[in-house]
Amino acid sequence: MTTKPVSVPVFSIEPVDALIDEPRRIVVSGLVPDERVAISARTLRGNGVEWMSQASFMADADGVVDLSRDAPVGGDYARVAPMGPVWSQQPVDGTSNEIFPIDVMVPLRTLLTVETVDGASADAELLQRFASVGIGRREIREDGLVGTLFTPAEPGPHPVVVVLNGSGGGINEPRAALLASRGYTAFALGYFKAPGLSPYITETPLEYLEAGLRYAHAKLAPKDGFVALSGQSRGGELALLLGATFPNLVSAVIAFVPGAMVHGAQGAGDPARGGWQGVTWTRNGEALPHLWDNNSAVHWHPWAGAVPPTRHHSVFFEGLKDTELAARARIPVEKIAGPVLLISGRDDRAWPSSLYSRMVVSTLRRHNHPHLVRHLDFDDAGHAINIPVVPSTQLTREHPVSKVPYTNGGTPAGNAAADVGSWRGVLEFLGEVTGTTGKLPNAPADT
């Protein structure tokens, strides 16, 4: 009588505990050859909301499943992806959008479980850290500024990066903490929807951001006077605008999915002060011209008529048809006095960041910009290009200010690849323009 083989699954994770941008190798051994197993991943994110993924695999002739080699045979993702169980997660409650912990000094913990058809199972845990050992965190409430400062563990001086969030507002602590872990003093500066600041982006004075840049130069001891700006979405628009407006204060610009124009307040606007078409930025008390200021080419509201995710993206292409207004609203990026890195997704459905980035590159080229200009444009990626490795499945979401649904675009796999590629591109760019070395995570085989 032949005894049926029995699985005794065992996880191997290398490394178990590391920065969130470090690639991992996840292997399950001890399986029966050709056995089908399910691997699930559960993580508590945001305000204690559980996110989960599950995928099925077929063990090889040695009874092994290696996520860096094996594609799932079914489940929440469908390609070879060592960290697929993490980036393919979705909230169990179906409504949460918050993928980061409340406290970025505490790692995210993901429970991995493998289950066989016969009921054998094993668990393992991996930890993703935003802040490595020795990183300092200090809330800034000085000179009217609201933000959080993260400092590297190693003695300075260090290059400084000022980190700006997008139209969701708030303070982008996760990206700043990770930058500090890679050797940069990172100042996550809030400019609306943060303690003591306006809940809306409407009529944000550039003087406030200028004060933040001056603070960075005067108080943060930047190495060789280097202070870069990194901004996402509206923050990317703002980073380009600040670089052009205060070129003596900005050493380099990193613009994620940016606008090449000044736009109206849009989804982050105060309904009592113009809403979508309200003024976003002011200088010396005067409104900066923007693309929705009596635009002659746009005769419909992107949030009226059809379902908002369907129409939202098109309004930007329509808006650019008013060429006179577009010329007035254009950010004069040729005034930037340093290197520029642009990051975009070719399937950005929130606004055309790929087109906008190409417009910036073209303008800089025509003006013989003397500094490094680089554009990373990712296939199958949308508007929500983030840090690695976090869930990339929220293709349509509710805007955190207006509460109106909109579409980010991209595919989960494409967005995950852009998260990894853009982050590595940022670190390589900063290394080149500051002369720093040894700050890169290990190169991933894939995501």
Task: Name the active-site residue from 40, 53, 233, 353.
Answer: 233
Read off the pLDDT of residues 100-134 as tens digits, 9 standing for 90 and up. Answer: 999 999 999 999 999 999 999 999 999 999 999 99
Residue, of 439 and 29, whose pLDDT is higher: 29
- Our answer to whether residue 348 is catalytic in this structure is yes
**Phi-psi category of residue 124: left, alpha or beta, with phi > 0 → left and psi -120 to 50 → alpha:** beta
- Our answer to whether residue 21 is catalytic in this structure is no
State the pLDDT at residue 305: 53
Cis peptide before 205 (omega within 30 of 0): no
Cis peptide before 405 (omega within 30 of 0): no
Q: How far apart are CA 141 and CA 148, in angstroms?
A: 9
Half-sphere exposure of 264 (CA within 13 A, CB side): 22
Do 273 and 171 share a structural domain? yes
Q: How far apart are CA 49 and CA 108, in angstroms?
A: 12
Do 193 and 105 share a structural domain? no
Please list the alpha-helical segments (H only) found in 306-411: 308-311, 314-319, 323-329, 353-366
Task: Classify residue 48 by burial, with Cβ atoms within 10 Å: 0-12, 13-18, 19+.
Answer: exposed
CB-based contact 131:151 (threshold 8 Å): no
Task: State which H helix or E strand residue 38 sits in.
Answer: strand 36-45
Q: How far apart are CA 395 and CA 270, in angstroms?
A: 25
Look at residue 443 and tell me if it is in a domain.
no
State the pLDDT at residue 445: 62
Mean local confidence (pLDDT), 151-177: 96
Do 229 and 119 share a structural domain? no
Look at residue 446 and tell me if it is in a domain.
no
Q: How far apart are CA 87 and CA 318, in angstroms?
A: 34
Do 324 and 269 share a structural domain? yes
* pLDDT of 175 higher than 80: yes
- Band (46; pLDDT cuts 50, 70, 90): confident
- Band (306; pLDDT cuts 50, 70, 90): low
Query: What is the domain-level CATH number for residue 164?
Result: 3.40.50.1820
Do 115 and 193 share a structural domain? no
CB-based contact 421:378 (threshold 8 Å): yes
Look at residue 382 and tell me if it is in a domain.
yes
Q: How many helices (H) and strands (E) does the chain have?
A: 9, 23
- Our answer to whether residue 270 is catalytic in this structure is no
Do 303 and 252 share a structural domain? yes
* pLDDT of 224 higher than 70: yes
Do 398 and 367 share a structural domain? yes
Mean local confidence (pLDDT), 198-212: 98
Q: How far apart are CA 23 and CA 423, in angstroms?
A: 13
Do 293 and 179 share a structural domain? yes
What's the number of domains the chain is made of? 2
Read off the pLDDT of residues 373-391 as tens digits, 9 standing for 90 and up. Answer: 999 999 999 999 999 999 9
Task: Name the active-site residue from 322, 348, 357, 399.
Answer: 348
Out of 111, 129, 147, pick the residue that ends a domain.
129
* pLDDT of 20 higher than 90: yes
Do 165 and 108 share a structural domain? no
User: Side by side, which strands form the sheet with 204-205?
Assistant: 204-205, 281-283, 286-287
Q: How far apart are CA 353 and CA 129, in angstroms?
A: 29
Query: What is the domain-level CATH number for residue 36?
Result: 2.60.40.2240
How much helix, strand and coil, in percent to the nearest 5, is found in the chain?
A: 25, 30, 50
CB-based contact 150:180 (threshold 8 Å): yes
* Residue 19 domain boundaries: 10-129
The pLDDT mean for the chain works out to: 94
Q: How far apart are CA 194 and CA 409, in angstroms?
A: 27
Do 301 and 267 share a structural domain? yes
**Phi-psi category of residue 251: left, alpha or beta, with phi > 0 → left and psi -120 to 50 → alpha:** alpha
Answer positive or negative: Cα dihedral of 389, 111, 176, 196: positive
DSSP annotation of 204 reads E
**3-state DSSP assignment of residue 14:** strand
Look at residue 2 and tell me if it is in a domain.
no
Do 393 and 270 share a structural domain? yes
Mean local confidence (pLDDT), 229-254: 98
Out of 110, 129, 148, pick the residue that ends a domain.
129
Give the amino acid at 329: A
Task: Name the active-site residue from 158, 313, 383, 399.
Answer: 383
Mean local confidence (pLDDT), 224-251: 98
* pLDDT of 311 higher than 70: no
Residue, of 352 and 302, whose pLDDT is higher: 352
Do 184 and 123 share a structural domain? no
Read off the pLDDT of residues 398-432 as tens digits, 9 standing for 90 and up. Answer: 888 888 878 899 999 999 999 999 999 999 999 99
Look at residue 439 and tell me if it is in a domain.
no
Out of 69, 96, 129, pick the residue that ends a domain.
129
DSSP annotation of 271 reads G
Look at residue 442 and tell me if it is in a domain.
no
Q: How far apart are CA 179 and CA 337, in angstroms?
A: 23
- Band (309; pLDDT cuts 50, 70, 90): low
DSSP annotation of 101 reads B
Please list the alpha-helical segments (H only) found in 133-268: 173-181, 206-219, 234-245
Look at residue 375 and tell me if it is in a domain.
yes
Look at residue 445 and tell me if it is in a domain.
no
